[in-house]
Amino acid sequence: MIPEDIIGKAPTFMEVLMKVNDPRDNRGKRHELAFVLACVIVAILSGKSRMSSIHRFIQHKIKWLQEIFVRPNATAVSRAQLPNIVAAVAWDELNAGFEQFFPFQIVNDVGEWTACDGKSLKGTITDPTQAQKHERIVTAVTHTSHEVLCQRRFSGEKTSEVTVVREMLDATGLVGGKVSLDAGHAYPDTLEPIHQADGLYVVQIKQNQPQLFEALAQIAEQAEQAEQKESTELTGSVSSGVEIATVEKGHGRVEERIGRILSLNRGDLAERWEPTGMQTVIVMDRMTEELKTGNVSAERSYYVSNQPPLGHEQELFDAIRGHWRIESTHYIRDVTLNEDHVRTKNADGGQVLSLLRTVALKFLHQLHPTNMQAMLEQFADVPDTLRDLLVRSNFVSLS
């Protein structure tokens, strides 16, 4: 049963698509842009990924699509025209409509952590010698629900991701929320705006920041030496900290994580880090045993945060672990939605398709599926279940 308070709620996502500017010449235009984009999204929700399979879906389901979107005179777009129409869409305009339809609220005291991470669109590589210059996206994904909050496009070197993330955080308000970042974003120019906006961050520190990395290693060593001496008073800026450990078994291995949360005296750091509000160090040790071979490996990672350690130890530990769960979202895009294997000759078309996949994922998440692939197959086999989702999520209206 569809809740009455959802039925007829405006605007629908179809109305959002109708507001996207169509740059094509009106002369000879046979297919409404909004209808074509809506059909592509529904095809993705039915498990179709490549342009050829999306086109066949539209052809085979045209009468059903006419009914769902109330377009009785619409016709199926040709295979040749479909990628041209998609590539003609203004990405920024479509993305703005997406963010308007799916707004989110930033609450840094009790809100959920959000991971920002980049991803390559490998299907846009047309020249292997220029692979580093292909299309990329940056997404902000919630740690717990794995929902995509926003997305930005960029081209070229991965280093460009740093600037894109800064701009995305500022433009969306995420700069004032709880943000986790990988080591590529460990720069004062990225962390300072978050701190100044009363946001919180957790970021990994690697050798790309050698002086800070060495300082954190020394702090960790001081803490360990103090523990070995069974001292209750530690020298320097290091406090005794809190240790949190987890043990997980799966995929043929046992993995133990031990996180030590320590206070950080900003006076021990270079002056350029002062405006970032950095005050906590998280030392994360991971030991992995391969059950089949008995091989054991160990690695240590360092993280910093402007979140004070006292009373927030478990949250910081969970935020670090939660950040890497964004890889499950990448896995869904690459494996379930086949993103890496969809070849597109036009860079703009590849980026628009990526954004339409994000839209499809956003609608899927409203059902909280435990198995994305099974849900896509259900939509393909039982179209009425997909129709119910489109109505319940206000993609289309019953009226």
- Concatenated DSSP letters of 164-177: HHHHHHHHHSGGGS
How many structural domains compose the chain?
Answer: 2
CATH code: domain of residue 245 = 2.20.130.10
Q: What number of CA atoms fall less than 13 Å from residue 54's CA on the CB side?
A: 27
For the entire predicted model, the pTM comes to 0.87
| Kind of pairing between the strands at 148-155 and 296-305 | unpaired
Specify whether 225 is located in the same domain as 305.
yes
Q: Is residue 334 part of a domain?
A: no
Residue 252: both structure tokens together = 């043929």
**Using alpha carbons only, how large is the chain's radius of gyration in Å?**
24
Residue 117: both structure tokens together = 């991470």
pLDDT in tens, the chain (399 residues): 334 444 445 699 999 999 999 988 887 789 999 999 999 999 999 999 999 999 999 999 999 999 999 999 999 999 999 999 999 999 999 999 999 999 987 766 667 899 999 998 888 765 555 555 678 999 999 998 888 999 999 987 878 899 999 999 999 999 999 999 999 999 999 999 999 999 999 999 999 999 999 999 999 988 888 777 754 454 444 445 688 988 888 878 898 999 999 988 877 788 999 999 999 999 999 999 888 888 989 999 999 999 998 888 999 999 999 998 788 888 899 999 988 888 888 889 999 999 999 999 999 998 989 899 999 999 999 999 999 999 999 999 876
* CB distance 302 to 205 below 8 Å: yes
Q: Is residue 357 part of a domain?
A: no
Specify whether 224 is located in the same domain as 305.
yes
Specify whether 303 is located in the same domain as 236.
yes
* CB distance 207 to 213 below 8 Å: yes
Q: Is residue 43 part of a domain?
A: yes
The domain in which residue 265 lies consists of 210-310
Specify whether 370 is located in the same domain as 303.
no
Return the pLDDT at 234.
Answer: 44
Return the pLDDT at 227.
Answer: 73
Integer CA distances (angstroms), 353 to 24, 58, 193, in order: 18, 16, 32
